[in-house]
Amino acid sequence: MRELLIGTGNAGKLNEYRALLARVPLRLLNLHDVGLAHLDVDESGDTVAANAQIKALAYAEASGLPTLADDTGLMVDALNGEPGVYAARYGGPGLTMPQRRARLLAKLAGLPDERRTARFTCAIVLADPRTGGSITVEGVCEGRIAHEEAEGEHGFGYDAIFIPVGYDIPWSRVPLDDKNRISHRGQAAQQIIPHLLRLAED
54-67: burial string, b at 16+ Cβ within 10 Å, e else:
bbbbbbbebbebbb
How far is residue 29's CA from residue 22's CA, in Å, rounded to a whole number?
13
How far is residue 201's CA from residue 49's CA, in Å, rounded to a whole number?
26
Helices (H) and strands (E) in the chain, counts: 5, 7
71 is catalytic: yes
How far is residue 56's CA from residue 137's CA, in Å, rounded to a whole number?
13
Q: How far, rounded to the nearest angstrom, does the alpha carbon of residue 14 sit from its chain's CA centroid?
A: 10
Catalytic residue among 33, 46, 71, 159: 71
DSSP assignment string, 92-145 = -TT--HHHHHHHHHHHTTT--GGG-EEEEEEEEEEEETTTTEEEEEEEEEEEEE
Would you name the residues annotated as active-site residues?
Answer: 71
